[in-house]
A and B are shown apart, each in its own frame.
Chain A
């Protein structure tokens, strides 16, 4: 099944040399602490808080509108520290999510409006249902779908999840077409 073509206004997005397509209306704080792996897509009104701690994002990650990616913090006896956040490759994060996780593996799908609590760990090949609320320090194992509020195990994901996520993310990136190019072809 082919994903629909998504047209974006070329002027309102930046395209980097490694193929990242980042909206100019997104807010990336502390961009010197942010690493985007390459061929990632950041839609408008996303917020990345690189000023709090390092954020490392892998290849072919998709962040849809209004998602917030924030490193988690931990209270120590001497104060508070924000921990780096790593996101793996081929991760599809839908609209309105709030991500406070300590780490997200590869090939992960986070549904619309999900809230990932502080210092959660999402292993590779897992998924979070739309509207789920994961309490702090939840560990989501591989090949599982977590949903509900508070987040709990809902069902197992098939072994083809890796291939599906790869197809979804690569397909989304390939079908993201700048609208000025469309005008030229017509």
Chain B
């Protein structure tokens, strides 16, 4: 596990396997990041809330020797209870509460996956798309805002209430 300086990772979170966490990323308690089938690289300024699950899942029917790298970009928000297995996630996305993103999906930049949506088919979501729970999609003109102000606030208060994992060290 490689935690860059500036990242705030609670000890109460479950982080297993080869996970690289960029600086200014905040990982709330009870978030789960499991790198089974290969490393996970998380960019900067992301917000991973509690009960969210990010898994680089080991599939039984795939080549067992092949390592798959899961790359998550910067400025993303993973809200409470989301379940993410996608291997490629770009920047400025919002994966809302209790949504599910399957392994074959490739999320570009500025995508909003609404509460309770499930994405399972093999596809690449174009930029600035909003995916609603009833299946409709629309394109918005602006990207979702980066969670910078929230990340700053949490970086200040988390040390008071939580034990944090040390940066830039292997466990």
Report A's interface with B, CB cutoff 8 A.
27, 29-30, 47, 49, 51-52, 66, 68, 70, 73, 75, 79-82, 96, 98, 113, 115, 131, 133, 149
Known: A79-B152, A79-B153, A80-B153. Contact between A98 and B98, CB under 8 A? Answer: yes
Q: Decide: A75 near B134, CB < 8 A? Known: A47-B51, A115-B116.
A: no
Complex CA–CA separation, A30 to B29 (angstroms): 12
- Segment among B38-46, B63-71, B83-91, B158-166 that sits at the interface with chain A: B158-166
**Are A115 and B134 in touch, CB under 8 angstroms?**
no
Q: Which residues of A contact B97 (CB under 8 A)?
A: 98, 115
A49 CA to B10 CA, complexed, in Å: 13
Measured CB to CB, the nearest residue on chain B to A73 is B150
Q: Which residue of A lies closest to B96 (CB)?
A: A115
B84-116 CB contacts (< 8 Å) to partner A: 97-98, 115-116
Quick check: is B22 within 8 A (CB to CB) of the other chain?
no
Q: List 13 A-B contacts (CB under 8 A).
A: A29-B29, A30-B161, A47-B30, A49-B50, A51-B162, A68-B81, A80-B149, A80-B152, A98-B98, A115-B115, A133-B115, A133-B116, A149-B133
A49 contacts which chain B residues (CB < 8 A)?
Answer: 50
| Bound-complex Cα distance A148 to B80 (A) | 19
What chain A residues lie within 8 Å of B51 (beta carbons)? 47, 66, 68
CB <8 Å contact, A98 and B80: yes
> A51 to B161, alpha carbons, bound, how many Å?
6
User: Min CB distance, B121 to chain A, in Å?
Assistant: 21
Q: Given A27-B12, A29-B29, A68-B81, is A149 in contact with B134 using a C-beta cutoff of 8 Å?
A: yes
In the complex, A106 Cα to B80 Cα: how many Å? 25
Find out whether the CB atom of B116 lies under 8 angstroms from the CB atom of A149. Answer: yes
> Known: A29-B29, A47-B51. Is A80-B150 also a contact (CB below 8 A)?
yes
B141 at the interface (CB under 8 A from A): no
* Cβ-defined contact, B157 with A51, below 8 A: yes
Distance in angstroms between the alpha carbons of A131 and B130 in the assembled complex: 21
- The DSSP consensus for interface residues of chain A is strand
Given contacts A115-B98, A133-B133, A149-B134, contact A29 B81 (CB under 8 A): no
CB contacts under 8 Å to A, within B10-53, are 12, 29-30, 50-51
Q: Mark B residues whose CB is within 8 Å of A.
A: 12, 29-30, 50-51, 80-81, 97-98, 115-116, 133-134, 149-150, 152-153, 157-158, 160-162
With the chains together, A181 CA to B30 CA distance in Å? 32
Report chain B residues within 8 Å CB of A47. 29-30, 50-51
Residues in chain B near residue A96, CB distance under 8 A = 81
CA–CA, A52 and B149, complex, Å: 14
Give bound CA distance, A75 to B133, whole Å: 26
In the assembly, what is the distance between CA of A149 and CA of B117, in Å?
Answer: 11
Smallest CB-CB separation from A99: which chain B residue?
Answer: B80
Chain B hits for A149, CB < 8 A: 115-116, 133-134
Query: Which chain A positions have C-beta within 8 A of B153?
Result: 79-82
Q: How far is the CB of A133 from chain B (nearest CB, A)?
A: 5
Look across to chain A and name the residue whose beta carbon is closest to the beta carbon of B10.
A29
Closest B residue by C-beta to A76? B149
CA distance A51 to B12 in the complex (A): 14
Output the nearest chain B residue to A149 by Cβ-Cβ distance: B133
Q: How far is the CA of A143 from the CA of B51 in the complex (A)?
A: 32
Known A29-B29, A68-B50, A115-B98: A51·B160 in contact at CB below 8 Å: yes
